[in-house]
Amino acid sequence: MLHKIYKEDYKNYRECAKLSFLLRKENHQKTIQWHDRELTYFFSLPEFGDEKQKDDLTNISAPSLELLANDDYSFSDLEVIDSETILDGLEVGYHAKQYFLRNYRCFDLDTYEKHLVANKTVEKILDANLEVLFEPRFEYNGCVTKVDVLKRNGTGWDLIEVKATTKVHREHLYDVLYQYYILTNCNIEIKNIYLMHLNGFYFHQGDLEYDNLFILASKYNLTTTGSKQENIMVGVKKDLAKRDFNQDIQRIKDIFQMPVAEALAWLKTSQCHNRGKYDYCIHVYAKLPKEHTIFNLYRLVKTKKARLYYENNFLSLYTSNFFDLNLTANQYRQIKVVQNLEGVVALSERRYLQSIYKEYVYPIYMYDFETVKSAIPKYENSTPYEQIPFQYSIHVLLDNKFNEEKHNIKHYRYLSDGVGDHRLVLIENLIKDLTRYGIGTYVAYNKSFEKQVLKKMALLYPIYEEILMQISDRTVDLMDFFKNFAIYKAEFNGSLSIKKTLPAFNLEFSYDDLEVQKGTDASSLFRKRLYNELQKDNNHLFFLKLNNAWKTISWQQWQDNYVKNLLLYCERDTYGMVVLFTKISELLREQGWIEW
């Protein structure tokens, strides 16, 4: 059976050939089961996937063009929205079209049924009156692509790839390289290549200013710091000159048709198919225990994990020969705790833990934000992807006589209804609730996030800058108790996240009884509420389709079905901090390091 090749297939292949197999749509899951066995890999999956692809596609021939006649692969179909990443991409794509519609004669091929797109692409390519085409689709040698923007340039075209990012990344070169290969083989002359991305410093005021919102980049970064750049067209031509693209495509096709047994054996080999970037493959491993392996070892880089696994045959943290592995002090401590060679509290960290505990002066305010972000700013004086707080929860410990039954504990909360700009109201309520019992100690878990939100709000509302910065400066981090592995339990499994540390101290503490169980779920729900309000003033196609596809939330639905659940989730977060602080206090008292 022949398989169509898509851009994501090629990009995965360029990272490692094994990924092109694992991340194909029919295998698009974190754990793949074959013959009652599992392969587990520990890289991040993309947050999007294509629709079920059909292999019985037919081609329509046209003078100098091979075009896809019927293609079910489309990231632009709103019916398949299942993540905010996709939503950001769709919305950025919509506004990128508005950027060109202001000054050019444009045609959007995405408005047609898929079986009509091929003929329409041929027709519009040949229509000299049109200057810009949106989302034409092409096929060559079994490779299918949809181009974001084609802009006529004399006898040829400029190829423009739209990205919902604020920077140009090296891997973006593979997007345009793949498209350039297909289009030039369809006799489409490409004059220039651009990556169109968001300006991360764009400050939204009034109507969107497209010339400031978008950057049309002709260069991409050769380094992660961006200190060295190269022209995109030059980079594409250099890459095509040094490698056989047709050979790559044939290899991808062969991989897709590989029998399961052969694929299993291939995926378990140590070789990384990325042209020598790594000595050993960091992408795929045979079935591993879920806990207490080197793959849970704290901050051990992937390349070293692969070397230890393949070269030293080191996997389980219960192995006795770990002292010769040149690990960090924290990594050695993790292994010792797992093997019961050291206790939960590091005796050498007594003074450090005592000094941290002394920072907790009553009243203690434990607080947590839930935020929403989007590629296209929705609020005045905000930037792309800025974290906008819409909810908070605060638990106040009045003195050291508090307990888990909530004696001497007060709780305060706020949740926006999604109508208008709620930030000023949120900040005013936050300040009131964080000073009800006077200035105290403010506690967050991984405090950098909360401090960042406070600083943004201080800049936005200078009248409250002094008190907000005072709160920020007096914020301590509950996670500090676990730094340097001063306190460590085997159940942490190499993570200091509260989702790991809290259950390790209190097995009964859980989010399982809640309708909302993750911060990402809370953010997504509020965004659906926000977009329902935005639709009232934006009757364009994007928001109309979005309301039906993403199921935005009306005010009445919000009140009836979501407010209670969101409040309970955020409250659980801060009460979890109270529980964790209680357990830490008990542990230190048992050591005799703090007073009862």
pLDDT of residue 286: 57
Check whether 404 has a pLDDT greater than 70: no
**Per-residue confidence at 466, pLDDT binned at 50, 70, 90?**
very high
> What's the gap between Cα 227 and its chain centre?
25
pLDDT of residue 72: 33
323 residue type, one letter: F
Q: Note the CATH architecture for domain 350-591.
A: 2-Layer Sandwich (3.30)
Query: How far apart (Å, rounded) are the C-alpha atoms in residues 332 and 338?
Result: 10
Mean of pLDDT values over 104-116? 87
Check whether 241 has a pLDDT greater than 90: yes
**Per-residue confidence at 538, pLDDT binned at 50, 70, 90?**
low
Better pLDDT: 406 or 90? 90
Mean of pLDDT values over 73-100? 69
Mean of pLDDT values over 392-419? 89
Is residue 358 classed as helix, strand or coil in its secondary structure?
A: helix
Where do the structural domains in the chain lie, given as residue ranges?
Answer: 7-15+44-251, 350-591
Better pLDDT: 53 or 99? 99
**Per-residue confidence at 190, pLDDT binned at 50, 70, 90?**
very high
List 146's β-bridge partners, or say none. 137
> What's the gap between Cα 494 and its chain centre?
21
Q: What is the overall mean pLDDT for the chain?
A: 85
Check whether 163 has a pLDDT greater than 70: yes
Mean of pLDDT values over 192-200? 97
pLDDT of residue 285: 65
Mean of pLDDT values over 364-379? 96
pLDDT of residue 68: 25
Contact 241, 235 (CB under 8 A): no
Q: What percent of the chain has pLDDT over 70?
A: 85
Contact 370, 444 (CB under 8 A): no
Query: How far apart (Å, rounded) are the C-alpha atoms in residues 132 and 134?
Result: 7
pLDDT tens by residue, 268-279: 788 888 766 788
Check whether 28 has a pLDDT greater than 50: no
Check whether 438 has a pLDDT greater than 60: yes
385 residue type, one letter: Y
Out of 65-69, 252-256, 537-541, pick the least confident. 65-69
Residues contacting 241, CB < 8 A, separation 6+: none
Torsion sign across C-alpha atoms 308, 312, 314, 320: negative
Check whether 542 has a pLDDT greater than 80: no
pLDDT of residue 261: 79
pLDDT tens by residue, 379-396: 999 999 999 999 999 999
Check whether 3 has a pLDDT greater than 70: yes
Query: How far apart (Å, rounded) are the C-alpha atoms in residues 356 and 358?
Result: 5
pLDDT of residue 80: 34
**Per-residue confidence at 78, pLDDT binned at 50, 70, 90?**
very low
| Residue 104 vs residues 100, 110, 332, 429: alpha-carbon distances, Å | 6, 17, 62, 48
pLDDT tens by residue, 548-560: 667 788 899 999 9
pLDDT of residue 539: 58
Check whether 125 has a pLDDT greater than 70: yes
pLDDT of residue 264: 78
Q: Which of 20, 32, 8, 73 is nearest to 254 (CA)?
A: 20
Better pLDDT: 440 or 85? 440
Q: Residue ranges of the alpha helices (H) in 155-259? A: 172-185, 210-213, 232-242, 245-256
Mean of pLDDT values over 546-571? 87
Query: How far apart (Å, rounded) are the C-alpha atoms in residues 192 and 63?
Result: 23
Residues contacting 2, CB < 8 A, separation 6+: 55, 142, 253
Out of 177-181, 275-279, 469-473, 565-569, pick the least confident. 275-279
Out of 41-55, 241-255, 419-433, pick the least confident. 41-55
Phi first, then psi, for residue 229 (nearest 5°) are -125, 160
Check whether 483 has a pLDDT greater than 60: yes
590 HSE (CA, 13 A, CB side): 10
Contact 194, 158 (CB under 8 A): yes
pLDDT tens by residue, 303-336: 888 888 888 888 888 887 777 788 999 999 999 9
Out of 94-108, 294-308, 488-502, 572-586, pick the least confident. 294-308
Highest mean pLDDT among 4-18, 108-122, 455-469, 547-561: 455-469
pLDDT of residue 2: 64
Predicted TM-score of the model (pTM)? 0.86
Better pLDDT: 206 or 44? 206
Query: How far apart (Å, rounded) are the C-alpha atoms in residues 65 and 119?
Result: 11
Check whether 53 has a pLDDT greater than 50: no
pLDDT of residue 312: 81
pLDDT of residue 382: 96
Check whether 76 has a pLDDT greater than 50: no
Q: What percent of the chain has pLDDT over 90?
A: 61
Better pLDDT: 444 or 303? 444
Q: Which helix (H) or strand (E) holds 22?
A: helix 17-22
What percentage of the chain's residues is helix, strand, coil (to nearest 5)? 45, 15, 40
pLDDT of residue 74: 31
Contact 530, 558 (CB under 8 A): no
Residue 243: left if φ>0, alpha if ψ -120 to 50, beta else—which one? beta
